[in-house]
Structure 1
Amino acid sequence: MNQDYIKPDNWSIIEEGFDAKRVKSSESLFSIGNGAMGQRANFEEQYSGATFQGSYIAGVYYPDKTRVGWWKNGYPEYFAKVLNAPNWIGINVIVNGESLDLFTCKKVENFKRELNMKEGWLSRQFVATLQNGITINVNTKRFLSLDLDEVGAIQYQITPINSDAEIVFKPYLDSGITNEDTNWDDKFWDTLNVSHENNQAFIEAKTMKTDFYTCTFMESQVFINDKSILIEPNIKADSNLATFSYSYQVKKGDIYTIHKFGGYTVDRNHNKSQLISAAKNVLKMATKKGFVELLNNQKKAWSDIWNMSDITIEGDVKAQQGIRFNIFQLNQTYLGKDSRLNIGPKGFTGEKYGGSTYWDTEAYCIPFYMATKDQQVARNLLEYRYNHLQKAIENAEKLGFKNGAALYPMVTMNGEECHNEWEITFEEIHRNGAIAFAIYNYYRFTGDYGYIPEKGLEVLIGIARFWQQRATFSTNKNQYVILGVTGPNEYENNVNNNWYTNYIAKWCINYAIENIKKVEAEYTSNYTRIMNKAKLSNSEIKEWKAVADNMYFPYSEKHKVFLQQDGFLDKELITVSDLDKSQRPINQKWSWDRILRSPYIKQADTLQGFYFFEDQFSNEELERHFDFYEPFTVHESSLSPCVHSIQAAKLGRMEQAYTFYLRTSRLDLDDYNKEVEEGLHITSMAGTWMSIVEGFGGMRIRNNTLEFEPKIPKQWDAYSFKVNFRNQIIKVNITKDKTHFELEGTKSLEISVNSKLVTITPNNLVTI
């Protein structure tokens, strides 16, 4: 049974009624971020029930020493942990000497929590009766500013309902925090200094090992009935805590309010000796604007984001809420402003997976950012990998590869591999292919070939070298094989000849060779520079070509399908529909041994290859492979349903496509995988966007032309989206019987709709 307490709403995530059992799930679902920092939706006031406290700063991490049962050569030394950062949101509340704590209150009524995605803020309201009999009405609102991205703002309001009361607001900073996700319970932070002046407090701290220097800061103002009042706070400071107390005798019915501004300055952006002065500077700007003006600016900034990235759906509120939640969280996680950053699979919502960069960015996220922002954002994501090329070469060297072969990491913060499960770290090498595919995909979409001679070709050469060395010549088969791998389907470890891995290896080599020839012909100076730097010879390229031209692919004559890997047909082929529902999800119910022997597929594997390279296969082949593999797929990876949704739509199976879409868009809202309390699945949210734009909208780029094959689920009356294609913005609106195209820009554009060429001109509605 999936959770269903989130109220359907077009623009907001809403929870009504307080339930302690839901707190950790809601802390994930209501998370907020602004690309530079983020936090789980923890309560500002103290809470003694089960909670997962988390505030995170982009790019700040800790190398937690690897913990494994048996050390093997080549293991990464550490697993990079996203760090729970010093807490600045805390505001404890004391009413007539008793702490407000929703876990111990006599009664909590009219509880409502709202994440307003249109305007970018989080609010709570409730009426609480404390053990001492005082009843209070509480309203809170907070947001992380998109304009001043080092600062967040909180408005916390209390009204005593049944009598006058002495109310104390105790805003605090706390660096005595721990990580939920840790291998050895190490101390991750070293607090250097706690200081305060006027209504401001600062905690300077640095991370152990990585030496990131941070300053966590706060400043508060208090009001009675919206009128500013000056209260001299009582101040307490110790080795890792700074607390200000603002006490006031509040009359029944009056509103006592605190505005708290807080956040982080970091030595990634400032000189480490100037962090307090940088904090004072941003506080000065924030308090000068004040809570209301900062909030208005927030609404404007989000309005600009939505203007380009919104997808509207008419007639299906749950589907609409799902896609907006996905788009909102993607923008909270990464805005493309800083090329040193990337998109962690949990974003700022939890600590699982180390919060680092996976192949998800290249395989799923780049299309979303290319189409909803300008192409520089996608280029930044590609440059992130170019900047890590030397580390990728070192990662390959640790495993015995040579001559500049590059193996990009499964998980990374700085380019080094830091994932410590051998079946993934050493074997899930298909990730290398996604890095190359992203370069191809970027050029296909933007038409910006310049990236390849400038930077991309060096990456393609390193990857081709890896594949050539990783393949083995089988005298038995008289072909090249790739042994001992894990494909995208992580429910199969240490297999031989995973079809997807072999296919993407062949493709990468051919794509590298094709671009070497093009750069040689058209970018002579770049060609000379790269050949000298890479020391690449024609004889080496011939060795690559021999591998690509003679790669082995397992195939079943009986089923007329490529086999996911050697031996797949040896399994007991019982479909998912014949699996007892009590056994799901199998990753929580079965031993790993049993999973590995089963035919069950965690996520699209062979079908992932058909998604990437669909132009190389016919519709009949796709249909055959879809019908063969889909019945064995349990979709226990967040990255799976979107690929199946796109392919079902391509095959005209709209009911199935819609079901998969709903699953990917509401994966976290409805908690399909029973794990949302650990954080959200950020990178798969980009797949949700793809399932509408590429699935239902049928958007492709072929022969330099933008193509659409629009379809609409029967549950919808209409839907619309925008894409930024080569600096021209096209709005597509699809109804039951028509598709409308509008072009923003100055010049006309030729597109293809249902295989017919159509010219659209600026500010003219074209209906088909």
Structure 2
Amino acid sequence: MNHIYIKPDNWSIIEEGFDAERVKSSESLMSIGNGAMGQRANFEEHYSGETFQGSYVAGVYYPDKTRVGWWKNGYPEYFAKVLNAPNWIGINVTINGEQLDLAKCTKVEHFRRELNMKEGWLSRSFTATLQNSIEVKVDTKRFLSLEIDEVGAIEYNVTPLNSDAQIDFTPYLDSGITNEDTNWDDKFWDVLNVNHEGEQAYIVSRTMKTDFYVCTSMQTQVSLNGEALNQEKTVSDTIDKVSFTYKNQVSKGGTITMTKFGGYTADRNHDKNELIAVAKKTLSKVTAMGFDTLLKTQKEAWAKIWEMADISIEGDVAAQQGIRFNIFHLNQTYLGKDARLNIGPKGFTGEKYGGSTYWDTEAYCIPFYMATKDQNVAKSLLEYRYNHLEKAIENAQKLGFSNGAALYPMVTMNGEECHNEWEITFEEIHRNGAIAFAIYNYFRFTGDYSYIPEKGLEVLIGIARFWQQRATFSTAKNKYVILGVTGPNEYENNVNNNWYTNYIAKWCINYALENIEKVKEGFHDDYERVKGKTKITDNELDLWKKVADDMYFPFSEEKNIYLQQDGFLDKELITVADLPHSQRPINQKWSWDRILRSPYIKQADTLQGMYFFEDDFSTEELERHFDFYEPFTVHESSLSPCVHSIQAAKLGRVEQAYEFYLRTSRLDLDDYNHEVEEGLHITSMAGTWMSIVEGFGGMRIKDDMLSFEPKIPNQWDSYSFKINFRNQILKINITKEGTKFQLDGNDQIDILVKGKKVTISPNNMVTV
């Protein structure tokens, strides 16, 4: 099977020709979402072939009881999962008594599916010959409204081509849904109420254990040749399903249309006793607007997002399609409207990783949202962690830490750790550092210090306390060491002195100390409040400082590099280039034991530290480390190519940076890891954005100013992007001849271009 079947196009993801083996992959690639809910691109009509049915409501989850062979103290009781929600998109179609099912048709032709990213809709068209010899043409379009984010809309057209036919539509709601991914085959939903009124139907269900109440609803309308029909229907309802059936005779060449509005109202946003009333009102409102008007608001809402977030690339369709695909899915997943939500690694496109929050948000997503929306969106993501500080302190207590030390979870929905592989849960503690780094990154970019005295300082203190307690004094080394960890490279577990972990621990402590002083001097009331709450003492701060000052870093004199961890050079150092292709990807071909003994690196680890803290290292040092570690890196994490692309660009290796960029931007489109049917890699998509803006654009903050070191791959004629920097919008256009800057704001700003200061005035283009 050819994995690369998506047609090149600047603004759309297009599939032509029906292939049953591609159905699940396309369901992932063409998933739609609006920040409040999302769904895989399942067919509306019945499909008996292989499919992965999935609809998800943001923030609604279930604690699936942990399943491990051997229980260890400190393990979380459960793994939180985003739930496959009741299905509202279903429309069964029968033609002269035979069900339309693409898996059973004798012929399917002219099959075309398009996800239009510019306007935010999904369409599908085909002609099919059923076993009863009737030939029909089907055209569908659907979208999830950004404007009214509790509803989606479907328009489903059927035209009989070779004879008159009786065409029956049976739109339904179904809450007899299970997750693909469940530990004990638990029942997740309890159905409380199935009812209908007029052309509307509702199912109210409640999640077991977490008690979220959700009303799934629909409103339907049938038209013949564009004229709305007011007709009788038959209703069927069972304990978990409700359906309407509309029967119509349609002349050859005539078109019958089912318009269906549906969606979810949840008690996260409304009183649980009012859910049906709210759904009723919302459905009546969108039905009165009509499909076309609602679609028009959709196009306008997406135009507004693209106005700021688009990256335009001239001369390279594959690269252009890749970046827009990434930006589109990031915006479908999270729009920053609800501070209780966060960004799951698969978004609304699948169930792997449980839809939970990882350190990906802080390390990769915040820069994208900060620069393409406004600082309030990024601030919401920081506040999400502040709101979970008490839980982070509890997580640390469960592992034996005390005195308000905080360990943020590897995986969470509500601040509690819910990941249960010991080498990750207990050992991949570098995640704590990413949360502190995001606070620093936010201040560096926005210049808004207010978050730190108000909330951030408490987080920094909890994290510093954790690092001070997690370090051990080694009398042999006369240094502080950090034992038994897993760094970002998960192909090494239970190692001592992972360089990145030790470095970020030292940095976190120093950053906390620096901000305690700063708040003490400039924000007296906040300082007193935080001091009263955290009970920090001078003795404690002295102890932190001692740990930071005397942190141990493994180093090889011979190679003149920091070692990823103690003993890295004891490995058999065979580079990836010398690994037979038949052995890749190693995570699918090798035993875990063999992987752990190998030198192979899943993703940037030492190089991740040099990316975060690049001002601490010279370009020569970066080059040495890049040349040593990249040849051992298999890039089997979606978060790997973007960091390497940024660093290759910094080192002036634009061709290599371009290869990494294509790999990160088309990771899912070209299905590099042969797993796209499970869902998309949403959080790494923010890394793709960084690989253009920070990689080729060379954007950094230096001396409190935006700084650029523009480079352009040979394959591109030009590229352009916008940055919202401190509430002024800067447009950057980079060609082989030079770089143009244009400012949409009220005050002139100074920026650095290749180290030289350039002043940009509002509405005045400057070419460098």
TM-score, length-scaled by structure 1: 1.00
Return the alpha-carbon distance in structure 2 between the equivalents of residues 552 and 307 of structure 1: 48
Partner of 1:501: 501
Return the alpha-carbon distance in structure 2 between the equivalents of residues 2 and 740 of structure 1: 41
Matched length: 768
Partner of 2:301: 301
Partners of 1:472 and 1:481 within 8 A in 2 = yes
Return the alpha-carbon distance in structure 2 between the equivalents of residues 675 and 474 of structure 1: 44
Structure 1 gaps, min length 5:
none
Matches for 1:484-563 after TM superposition, within 5 Å: 484-563=484-563
SS at match of 1:637: coil
SS at match of 2:719: strand
Partner of 1:665: 665
Matches for 1:228-307 after TM superposition, within 5 Å: 228-307=228-307
Partner of 2:618: 618
Return the alpha-carbon distance in structure 2 between the equivalents of residues 740 and 173 of structure 1: 53
Instruction: Report the CA distance between 1:702 and its aligned residue.
Output: 1.1
Matches for 1:89-100 after TM superposition, within 5 Å: 89-100=89-100
Partner of 1:417: 417
Partner of 2:584: 584
Return the alpha-carbon distance in structure 1 between the equivalents of residues 375 and 233 of structure 2: 50
Matches for 1:742-761 after TM superposition, within 5 Å: 742-761=742-761
Instruction: Report the CA distance between 1:3 and its aligned residue.
Output: 1.7
Report the residue type matching 1:764 in the other structure: N
Return the alpha-carbon distance in structure 1 between the equivalents of residues 359 and 233 of structure 2: 50
Partner of 1:112: 112
Return the alpha-carbon distance in structure 2 between the equivalents of residues 101 and 601 of structure 1: 45
Report the residue type matching 2:669 in the other structure: L
Report the residue type matching 1:485 in the other structure: V
Return the alpha-carbon distance in structure 2 between the equivalents of residues 166 and 764 of structure 1: 64
Instruction: Report the CA distance between 1:292 and its aligned residue.
Output: 0.2
Structure 1 pair 2/250, CA: closer, same or farther in 2 (3 Å)?
closer
Instruction: Report the CA distance between 1:135 and its aligned residue.
Output: 0.3
Return the alpha-carbon distance in structure 2 between the equivalents of residues 731 and 464 of structure 1: 38
SS at match of 1:764: coil
SS at match of 2:711: coil
Report the residue type matching 2:253 in the other structure: G
Matches for 1:344-359 after TM superposition, within 5 Å: 344-359=344-359
Partners of 1:81 and 1:351 within 8 A in 2 = yes
Return the alpha-carbon distance in structure 2 between the equivalents of residues 4 and 435 of structure 1: 37
Instruction: Report the CA distance between 1:109 and its aligned residue.
Output: 0.1
Return the alpha-carbon distance in structure 1 between the equivalents of residues 225 and 318 of structure 2: 38
Return the alpha-carbon distance in structure 1 between the equivalents of residues 513 and 703 of structure 2: 20
Instruction: Report the CA distance between 1:144 and its aligned residue.
Output: 0.1
Partner of 1:573: 573
Which consecutive segments of 4 or more residues in structure 1 shift more than 2 A? none
Partner of 2:71: 71
Partner of 2:136: 136
* Residue-by-residue CA offset, 1:605-664 (whole Å, 9 max, x unaligned): 000000000000000000000000000000000000000000000000011000000000
Instruction: Report the CA distance between 1:281 and its aligned residue.
Output: 1.1
Return the alpha-carbon distance in structure 2 between the equivalents of residues 617 and 46 of structure 1: 58
Partner of 1:593: 593
Partner of 2:176: 176
Return the alpha-carbon distance in structure 1 between the equivalents of residues 392 and 280 of structure 2: 40
SS at match of 1:7: coil
Return the alpha-carbon distance in structure 1 between the equivalents of residues 106 and 120 of structure 2: 32
* Residue-by-residue CA offset, 1:514-553 (whole Å, 9 max, x unaligned): 0000000000000000000000001000000000000000
SS at match of 1:476: coil
Tell me if 1:765 matches 2:727: no
Tell me if 1:320 matches 2:336: no
Instruction: Report the CA distance between 1:414 and its aligned residue.
Output: 0.1
Partner of 1:24: 24
Instruction: Report the CA distance between 1:231 and its aligned residue.
Output: 1.5
Instruction: Report the CA distance between 1:500 and its aligned residue.
Output: 0.2
Tell me if 1:482 matches 2:482: yes
Partner of 2:383: 383
Partners of 1:344 and 1:356 within 8 A in 2 = yes
Tell me if 1:367 matches 2:346: no
Partner of 2:47: 47
Q: Percent sequence identity over matched residues? A: 78
Return the alpha-carbon distance in structure 2 between the equivalents of residues 280 and 353 of structure 1: 34
Report the residue type matching 1:281 in the other structure: K
Partners of 1:2 and 1:671 within 8 A in 2 = no
Partners of 1:481 and 1:497 within 8 A in 2 = yes
Instruction: Report the CA distance between 1:285 and its aligned residue.
Output: 1.2
Partners of 1:61 and 1:80 within 8 A in 2 = yes
Partner of 1:466: 466
* Residue-by-residue CA offset, 1:195-238 (whole Å, 9 max, x unaligned): 00100000000000000000000000111111111121110000
Partner of 2:692: 692
Tell me if 1:403 matches 2:407: no
SS at match of 1:668: coil
Report the residue type matching 1:676 in the other structure: V
Return the alpha-carbon distance in structure 2 between the equivalents of residues 283 and 689 of structure 1: 37
SS at match of 2:439: helix
Partner of 2:332: 332
Partner of 2:122: 122
Report the residue type matching 1:470 in the other structure: R
Partner of 2:637: 637
Partner of 1:734: 734
Report the residue type matching 2:424 in the other structure: I
SS at match of 2:385: helix
Instruction: Report the CA distance between 1:288 and its aligned residue.
Output: 1.0
Return the alpha-carbon distance in structure 2 between the equivalents of residues 246 and 599 of structure 1: 63
Return the alpha-carbon distance in structure 1 between the equivalents of residues 531 and 58 of structure 2: 36
Partner of 1:38: 38
Partner of 2:219: 219
* Residue-by-residue CA offset, 1:553-581 (whole Å, 9 max, x unaligned): 00011111000000100000000000000
Return the alpha-carbon distance in structure 1 between the equivalents of residues 228 and 141 of structure 2: 18
Return the alpha-carbon distance in structure 2 between the equivalents of residues 104 and 580 of structure 1: 42
Tell me if 1:675 matches 2:678: no
Partners of 1:30 and 1:40 within 8 A in 2 = yes
Partner of 2:603: 603
Partners of 1:2 and 1:672 within 8 A in 2 = no
SS at match of 1:642: helix
Tell me if 1:13 matches 2:13: yes
Report the residue type matching 1:711 in the other structure: K
Return the alpha-carbon distance in structure 1 between the equivalents of residues 421 and 124 of structure 2: 41
Partner of 2:195: 195
Return the alpha-carbon distance in structure 1 between the equivalents of residues 703 and 181 of structure 2: 47
* Residue-by-residue CA offset, 1:272-322 (whole Å, 9 max, x unaligned): 000000101110111111100000000000000000000000000000000
Return the alpha-carbon distance in structure 2 between the equivalents of residues 690 and 346 of structure 1: 19
Return the alpha-carbon distance in structure 1 between the equivalents of residues 228 and 570 of structure 2: 75
Structure 2 gaps, min length 5:
none
Return the alpha-carbon distance in structure 2 between the equivalents of residues 617 and 424 of structure 1: 29
Partner of 1:429: 429
Partners of 1:61 and 1:83 within 8 A in 2 = yes
Instruction: Report the CA distance between 1:691 and its aligned residue.
Output: 0.1
TM-score, length-scaled by structure 2: 1.00
Return the alpha-carbon distance in structure 1 between the equivalents of residues 233 and 514 of structure 2: 69
Partner of 1:717: 717
Return the alpha-carbon distance in structure 2 between the equivalents of residues 195 and 155 of structure 1: 23
Partners of 1:2 and 1:670 within 8 A in 2 = no
Return the alpha-carbon distance in structure 2 between the equivalents of residues 305 and 685 of structure 1: 16
Return the alpha-carbon distance in structure 1 between the equivalents of residues 285 and 469 of structure 2: 56
Instruction: Report the CA distance between 1:2 and its aligned residue.
Output: 7.0
SS at match of 1:737: coil
Partners of 1:221 and 1:258 within 8 A in 2 = yes
